[in-house]
Amino acid sequence: MTRISIEALYTGEGAGGKYGRGGIMGAVMTEIFTYGVPDGYDAKTWAELLLIKHTLLAAEQMKHEGDSISDMTDSEPSSFRTEG
């Protein structure tokens, strides 16, 4: 079981490298360069859809391998406040 930062997961650095060379962003760019952008989509929309696809694939693989995300909200304060 490994704790991986979100940055490492997206860039493929460190422990995030086990989820593909170049991480999630590398997988998105590889798919765009290999298959192009389908008719009816602009490049930005297609890249965003692929980002979602590869994030979900990585999340499923992480679940299967028992890995987890670290530092998800530790470095920034939450803007959520309760009143009471």
What element of type H or E holds 60?
A: helix 43-65
pTM of the model: 0.74
Residue given tokens 């987890």 in the structure block: 68
Query: 12-16, 45-49, 79-83 — which is least confidently predicted?
Result: 79-83
Q: What is the pLDDT of residues 19-72, one digit of tens each?
A: 777 899 999 999 999 999 999 999 999 999 999 999 999 889 888 888 888 765
- 69-76 own/partner pairs: CB under 8 Å, 24+ apart: 69/3, 69/4, 69/5, 69/6, 69/9, 70/3, 70/4, 70/5, 71/5, 71/6, 72/6
